Amino acid sequence: MKTPDNIRQAVPFLWVSDMDRSLRYYVNDLGFEVSNQWVPDGRIEWCWLQLGGAALMLQEVRKNHLDQWFANGKPGHGVTIYFICDDALTVYRDALARGIALETPFVGNGMWVVGMSDPDGYSLTFESKTDVKEGTEYSD
């Protein structure tokens, strides 16, 4: 590909089992904003979420397809989305204050690593550069 300035953004698309639950998690708990949505029959079935320069799309699986969708286990299994930010520890403290289940932050590859999972099992990792020693675990 010889026109890299033509590509502007990659946006993960996540299938979710319960849009209301996912919106509570991403909007209420993590602070994303809904910037676009598809609302057939008066209920959001697809949306574009934005947090700073990061974006996600969520689409609810139609109820008559849930069995097929879950046939191979939890939908988010094996999927991790990395958010590179200025201060991952701020994300950690904010999420902790909201009662989100989190892993203990640590330094890996010269970055603070803050990990959590969404309601469908997608792994979300927020990272920021640091000079702290590799392998250090965060403590208050």
SS3 119: coil
Spatial separation of the C-alpha atoms in residues 26 and 24, rounded to whole Å: 6
Spatial separation of the C-alpha atoms in residues 128 and 112, rounded to whole Å: 5
More confident residue, 30 or 72: 30
Q: Taking 70 as the threshold, does the pLDDT of residue 3 lie above it?
A: no
What is the rounded average pLDDT of the residues 101-125? 94
Percent share of the chain, pLDDT over 90: 69
pLDDT band for position 8 (cuts 50, 70, 90): confident
pTM for this one? 0.82
State the pLDDT at residue 4. 62
